[in-house]
Structure 1
Amino acid sequence: MSSEKSIQEIYKSYVATGSVKKFMNDIKAQGIQENDPRLSQIAELTKEREQKEKKVDYENFARRSTPCCGLMKKFSERQFVIPNFEKFTKTIEDLYWRIKPNTTGKNAAYIPQLASIPDYWGISICTVDGQRFQIGDTGNGFSIQSCCKPLNYAIACEYLTSDVVHKFIGQEPSGRMFNEMVLDHNNQPHNPMINSGAIATASLIYTLIDGDQRRSMADKFDMVKTWMERAGGNERFGFNNSIYLSEKEVADRNFALGYFMKENKVFPEKTNMLESLDFYFQLCSIETSAETFSVVASTFANGGVCPLTDEKIFSVDTCRDVLSLMHSCGLYDYSGQFSFNVGLPAKSGVSGVIMLVIPNLAGIVCYSPKLDQHGNSVRGIQFCEELLKTYAIHPYDNLRHTLARRSIYEDK
């Protein structure tokens, strides 16, 4: 069925009978929220009809449906990536309540402002079709901490290409602590997901693009924050100044790493190492919510195209490189075990956030500040591992002769 035919069917079934509001309720049941930017003109039409109590003609409806014709087609043909969204969300709810009593772990105490965060627990999901679900404390703001690393790396790759970035940073798991003072056999940080690699990535952003032309720190920060907002469907990203100041006050190890890297000529020529460090602290202190950050995760799952705006944010090649490194290096010293148990790309931050990417399906963000000995959210890790016991989404669950678990795609 063509997009035009889908719009005609929806008009005939809902709008012509005066049931625009029923259409909004039915599409909401499939996980598409009323504030979805693709539906903004249809939502306006609903309000106008209620106020004026006038029948909506087809031309008006078709014109307002143009920005979301692909969405209309999927709704009309029931072809969303998760077909039975209600059943899926019920499974997620069950997992949420099963995991909630797990209060083990401790907040990250080495950053004072993180030590006092309450015992929040939330899960937010956004699929590659923009189907969304939240449960728990998903609206509370948190600093993204190390979850800035895949985004910074993606931005650097978009500006400079992966080949240029990896002249300065390696691609291998370090097998050491995330803040270990060690470089690889090429005298480079092992990868962009550990502190040394992330500091090097921060030094690359806006450094090599314009030759000798320098960009201000303000320009750098605004550029990265705007890019994150675009990846998040133009939803809110803020900045937590108290976290930034707290992080900077206890950053002796990172300063030592910076000088160690400078001594070993890791940075591009003319790099101001102290500015790069400060920039890195700022990026870790960018603040958002699980609801918004799940859209960022789904942008990576969707090959770099934001599901809510259909804007291409990152190239497919950049997404491939980011997800590869998240898969091998994203969970600190638990990365290998997580890869074995879950097999999906993920990145954690010591604020208690875990960003999980299920390629071609969804992005999931868990938020719970209590951490295990590796610095990962206790509840977040448990959720990821329980999800893999529930659904066949491990990359190797489709091997021949596998006694497959439930498939999300067939959850009808």
Structure 2
Amino acid sequence: MSILNDVSRVLKYRARNAAVAIMARTGDPLCRIMHRPAGEHTVYAELRARGPVHQPKQGPPLLLSHRLCSEVLRDTRIGMRLPGGRSASPNNTLSGTFIEYDPPDHTRLRRLAAPAFRPRLLRDYRTRIEKVTLDLLHSAVRKGEFDLVTDFASPLPIAVISDLLGIPDEHADRFARNGRLMAESPMGTSRLGHQRAINAAIADLGRLFADLMEQRRADPRDDVISLLTAAESEDRITADELVKTCGLLLIAGFETTVNLIGNATKLLTDDHPAQWALLKQDPDLAPRAVEEVLRYAPPVPFASRICQETVDLDGRSLPPKTMLMLLFAAANRDPEAYAEPDQFLLERAAGEPEHLSFSSGIHYCLGAPLARMEGEVALRAMIELMPNLRVIGEPTPRPTNVLRGYLHLPVAV
């Protein structure tokens, strides 16, 4: 049956992409954004001229306003699941993880993972992040020309997540190889061989997590798997939830950081060299550079939510089961929230709201402090070791319409 399931997944992925392309040609705004991401801000501007909420002829309302997106993300009547608790996307790779749950299960599972991101541990992570960053960049500098994504932006978060979870050194290569494949799973694939490789990676990581759980029961340590294993022994989390939580931390931690670093490099060194010069002049702008990259080019440009009871939104009454599409990339450039919203500026005026690239409300990204730290450390190290970094050749965008980043970014020092 597994081969039939794989074929079904691939065919559904192809059919979905074909449908998106057809609907884009008919003018459907969300499909236009998904089909040709490079032109999405032209679409946002067209829709915004008509108001903060756009109702297509087909499909869910599209929210472009920073204020309305923030309100929806904080509204307890609007959640991730259908009324009654059923999943809206049961075949999604992230189904069954706390990112896809509403309270009380979301609260319970998130609370169990949260100690891994407490400030004391994050300070300890920084030393490890700096070491891995310098090792990777020193190796890249020796090449002169390299792929920033495959040689740096991708290995960095995998190494950090290995430490966070507590993956032993003897399993580091196995974890890294399978981790990169698992991180691709939410995107889907049009190739059967690729789908089977992803499935094999997910299964092998499940076995690895299960083995490590057994070891941590006998020999607990200061890592996420130990924390979750202790909770499982107290019946606060099931074994299946534990494995899925580890997988979620892997996927979420990888995708945010790899796309953040790739997007930052392209924006700063290629698209806006004056801002790169400003950052080289004042490396302490690195945290602000991270925030501006996330605002200007969010790795996750949109997300959905579902009304679980009747909700009034922008003068409209929305019944239960109404799906909403929150266009984070549009909200992050809302002229009512940001001065010069389409300008990429490291020195933005004080008082502007936080971008929505890490979401908001109860689903605010748990790993946001870690991703910010990785981005800041990466930028500081790149300034120090490769101040003349430049993009060479044509970057390859990620082959997905739900993430914004690069699969390959050829650079030279």
Superposition TM-score tier, normalisation by shorter sequence: under 0.3
Structure with bigger RCO (C-alpha 8 Å, 6+ apart): 2
More helix by share: 2
The structure whose Rg is larger is 1
TM-score, structure 1 length as denominator? 0.27
